[in-house]
Structures are given as structure tokens and as C-alpha cells.
Amino acid sequence: MWNSIYPYVYLALLMSILAWFYTDYKAEREKKTWAKLSFWASAITYAITMFQTEFSFFYKILGMLPRDIGVILGLALIANNLKSSRGFFITAIAAGLGTYLLFSSFVPDTYQKYFGVSSSATRRLDKDAELLIDMKNVGDAEKVRKILAQYNATLSPAFPDLKNKSFSELDDFFVINLPNNDEAILQKVKTVLQNEGYADAIEYNEMVSLSPLEKQSVSAKKNARKYPLDDPQIDQLWSFEAMKMDEFYQYIKEKGIKPRKKVKIAILDTGIDSEHEDIKAKYTSTRSEYNKDKQSHGTHCAGIAASVSNNGVGIASFSPNNNFVTVTSIKVLSDEGWGTDAGIIRGIIEAADGGADVISMSLGGYSNDDKQRAFSEAVRYAQKSGAIVIVAAGNESTDARKVSPANAEGVIVVSAVDAQLKMATFSNYITHLKMGIAAPGVEILSTTPNNSYAAYSGTSMATPYVAGLVAMMKSIRPELTTEQVYAILKNTGIDTGDTDKTGKFIQPLKVIQALQ
């Protein structure tokens, strides 16, 4: 609710500022008093509303406040200078229109349409490889290098370690490193290479970052279902109640369902604490440097997807024992939660080449129109290697088709819902994407480093729920394709409070029944 009313409260604050300046010049003392009271009431309401929105504290302080205060100061200066002229009313109209544009997609969409890149892309590029170029002809690489030499820029293969080059066109991609991340040179290079016809596409190699995790309190639920497991914190998982996990476990036991394959889930994230008491027995190491997690995001996702069930500690996951699923880490984000598009794609390749059956990515960022090209090729590579790719919709309360890799071809995109099965206020919506599904994403208890547990919220938490369920599906029927998996998830899912925006909510028991 708070997220939806926030723009209107902010608009009211701007109008109260205009009223203050206007009455200060035109009105008698009583009206001046009301104008000032209106301003302070609007300002207090604005502060409360911003605090209550479900955006991260980091985003509020560094994203929302500087933007909002900048507009307020600019409006106050203009209003003060124009309060005695007709221009004052033009300012009032401009303030209303400007606020609408500020909180709509008009500005970024227009920028993207005419300049081919989102407005934030030029500010957050990998300083060592600003551009990804899909070469029309790899044999032209030397010609391109000669052109780049004029700008002191270099060219090198983006993904040189492909095990199966025929699976996609990833071997056509190169990275361009520009001196000092110079924006003017970057635009010149793009224009020259496009005009010379050397590129099928040129994409910005953007930085991706996680929002800081905010711990939330959870407690045992009343009237909790009875689970045939001994994990002590399982009764704190409202998600298990919503997904009827007691019936799910009971069905697997009664039907004697056995895995045909032990499926590997690859968590592409900040690493995983491989020694965690509730993960260790299911963990398979890809590289030793991936087996630690200073940020905790990756470990939390791993616990949701594949924590050890029925082991007398912590929580549980979909797999009732250790025979169905194993989990591994591919570290594509730094200890501070930063990564790049190219780095994430390399992680997808590494996971696919390492035999992952399910790739779970609780990450992403705003993209331009062509951004999905490189990601889509990476997903195609993973699919031909036998993997299904699950991706978070994102937490910006906007259209997920603006976010990569959620907008890539071939991925299953996950939105987040709360305990009332309504779309989480922070969740992006998947209305315009081909394969969107919903899972629990608010106050989700899971594993964190050093044998600890914490509850977090985000589509990051919803994504590994779907990854864990898909892994169970693949263990029972390894031949399933992405399209077949999604069809089963959708057809067996139930409506949410916002199904058009979230997709169907997963129902594990019905999924397993559909496989029989």
C-alpha cells in the first residue's frame, strides 16, 4: 500500500510548497498559516510514507531522498522567484506534470527509445570491459582492433572457455575496454562500429548490485501443519503452510517416489557457506573460492532451494532426503554484492559446463532494448547443456521486462507474494513475460553463514523456492524441458491476489502428482 500512495503524497508536498510561496505573497495572515500547516503536514506524511515503503534502506537514502530533495529545492527556488508573476501558475502545472513523469516509466522509456540505453547504464559500467559486442564476423576482429587503437581501446573474447561452442553464438561476443571509462569515447566507438557494420549488437556491460538484506523477525505459526520431519524451525515457515508441504512430503512417502537422477542446483550469487550445518550434506564444490559467503545472500538462497531436510537442525527444503538434489555455488557477485553482466554470463557457462541441471539466479538489473541478446544466448547455451534457468523478477515494483536477465529468452521468471498470497509491494510484475510464476518472498527464514538463520524478503527468496521445486521435478523426470516444466508449474498453480501480475502460485503436491 505505502509504495502505491508514495507518489501522491510527494505530489501533495510539492503542491503545499507552491501554496506556501503563493499565500506568502498574495494572502492575508490566516491563509498563510493554513498554507504553512499544510506544508508541515505534507512533509511529515511524506517522511512517514517513505519510511514505510518496502524499498531497502540503502535505496531510500541513496536513491529516493537525493532525487526528491533535489526536486523540492529546485521548485522552491523557482516558486520564490516567480511568485509575483503569471509564471507561478506555469510552475505549478510543471510541478504536477514533472512529478508524474518522475514516477512513471516515461522518462527512462523515452531515453531508451532515442538513445538505445537506459539512463543509468552510462554511470555503472565495468571499468575493465565497458561494452559487449556481438561480432557479425569473428574474422573481422583484427580490423576492429585497429579501429579501437585510435581510441586506446582494446578488444578481447568475452567468453573464451566455452566447452560446447556449437550450443550458442556466445563465441561471437567480445569485450571492449575503454580508457578511463570515457563516456564520449564510448559513444564514438559504438557509432563507428555500428556504422561500419562490424556488430550485430553492442551492449553495455553494466554493473549489477544487490540491495542490502534487512533482517526480519519470524515466529512459530499458529495452527501449523504437521510435517513428517524433525527440523525444529520448520514451523516458522509460513511458506510451507501456503504450499501445503505436509501433503507434499506425505505423498512422496506413500507413493514411494524415488529419484531417477540426483539433480545439481547451481546458485549463482555471492558464494555459499559450504560448512553450514543445514547445507553441508547436500553441497558439492565447484571451486574452493566459491565455498564462502561474506555477504550471506547466496547462503540464504541455497538454504531455501536445498537445505538438508529431516536432520534435526534448522529448516527444510522440497527434497525430503539427500537422494534427490545436490547444490553447488558459482560466485558471480563480490563480497559486497556487486557483479557485471559479462561475469554473470560466465557463471551461467561455468554452471552449464559443470553439469548443473537447474541454475538459480536471484539477481538482475535494469537493461536496454538489446541487453537480453547476450543473456539469451547464455540461457540457450545452458538449455542445450541440459539446464533449466530460474531468474528473479526483481524488487523495483516495476515491469520485469525492463530487467535482465529476467527479460532474456528461455528463463522462468519468479515474482514474490506475501502470506496473504498478494504480490509483494516490492516485487516486479511479470505480466509481459512468457514464463512467469509466483512463490513466497516475504519474511522467508533460511540459512546464513556460520550455522545461523535469518528471515529476509525479496524476489531473491522466491526464486530458489522455484529452483528447488524444479530440481525435484528433474530428479523424477530428467528429460523435462524448460517449456514442459513451466507448463506444469502454471497448470498446477493457484491464483494469487494479483495473478495477472504475479503468475500462478506454485503448488508442489500438484506438481509431483502431474509427473506420475
CA distance 87 to 25: 14
Residue 149 lies in a domain: yes
CA dist., res. 2 & res. 343, Å (int): 35
Q: Is position 188 within any domain?
A: yes
What is the chain's mean pLDDT, rounded? Answer: 87
Grid cell, residue 165, equals 561452442
Residue 70 has pLDDT above 80, yes or no: no
Q: Let me know if residue 457 belongs to a domain.
A: yes
d(CA 131, CA 493): 40
Residues 193 and 240 both lie in one domain: no
Please check whether residues 267 and 373 belong to one and the same domain.
Answer: yes
pTM: 0.79
Q: Do residues 373 and 444 both lie within one domain?
A: yes
Structural domain ending residue among the three candidates 187, 205, 223: 205
- Residue 81 pLDDT exceeds 80: no
The pLDDT of 131-144, averaged and rounded, is: 94
Active site residues: 269, 297, 460
Q: Is residue 355 part of a domain?
A: yes
Q: How far apart, in whole angstroms, are the C-alpha atoms of residue 318 and residue 352?
A: 23
Which of 47-51, 242-246, 401-405, 426-430 shows the lowest per-residue confidence on average (mean pLDDT)? 47-51
On whether both 198 and 252 belong to a single domain, the answer is no
First to last CA, the chain: 42
Instruction: Return the ∠ at Cα 56 (arms to 218 and 42), rounded to 5°.
Output: 110
Residue 28 confidence (pLDDT): 55
Query: Which pLDDT value is given to residue 113?
Result: 40
**Do 151 and 83 belong to one domain?**
no
- DSSP H helices in 360-458: 372-384
Q: Write phi, then psi, for 55 (nearest 5 degrees).
A: -75, 160
pLDDT at 19: 75
CATH number at residue 506: 3.40.50.200
Angle at CA of residue 271, ends 269 and 277, nearest 5°: 125
Look at residue 214 and tell me if it is in a domain: no
Question: Is position 220 within any domain?
Answer: no
Last residue of a domain, one of 104, 135, 164: 104
C-alpha cell at 103: 514516477
- Whether residue 148 sits in one domain with residue 15: no
Across the range 139-160, mean pLDDT stands at: 95
pLDDT digits (tens, 9 = 90+) for 168-212: 999 999 999 998 767 778 888 988 998 889 999 999 998 888 877
Residue 146 has pLDDT above 50, yes or no: yes
Tens of pLDDT along 247-260?
999 999 999 999 99
pLDDT band at 430 (very low <50, low <70, confident <90, very high): very high
Q: Is the pLDDT of residue 432 over 90?
A: yes
Residues 6+ apart with CB under 8 A from 346: 159, 161, 332
What's the total number of domains in the chain? 3
**211 falls within a domain:** no
Torsional sign, CA 363, 366, 372, 374: negative
Question: What domain range is 88 assigned to?
Answer: 2-104
Do 193 and 95 fall into the same domain? no
pLDDT of residue 62: 62
Three cell numbers at 50? 517513505
CA distance 26 to 357: 71
Residue 358 resides in a domain: yes
Contact 450, 482 (CB under 8 A): no
- Annotate 152-191 with DSSP letters as a single string: T-EEEES-TT-S-GGGSSGGGEEEEE-GGG-HHHHHHHHH
CA distance 335 to 105: 32
**pLDDT tops 70 at residue 116:** no
pLDDT at residue 229 above 60? yes
Residue 121 has pLDDT above 70, yes or no: no
| Phi, psi (deg, nearest 5) at residue 219 | -145, 170
CB contact set of 322 (below 8 Å; sequence gap of 6+): 281, 282, 308
How far apart, in whole angstroms, are the C-alpha atoms of residue 456 and residue 441?
A: 8
Q: How confident is the model at residue 111 (pLDDT cuts 50, 70, 90)?
A: very low
Amino acid symbol at 488: I
Q: Are residues 146 and 99 in the same domain?
A: no
Same domain, 249 and 396: yes
The answer to whether residues 190 and 241 belong to one domain is no
**What is the per-residue pLDDT across 342-377, written as a single tens digit (0 to 9) for each?**
999 999 999 999 999 999 999 998 886 556 899 999
Q: Residue 136 sits in a domain of what CATH number?
A: 3.30.70
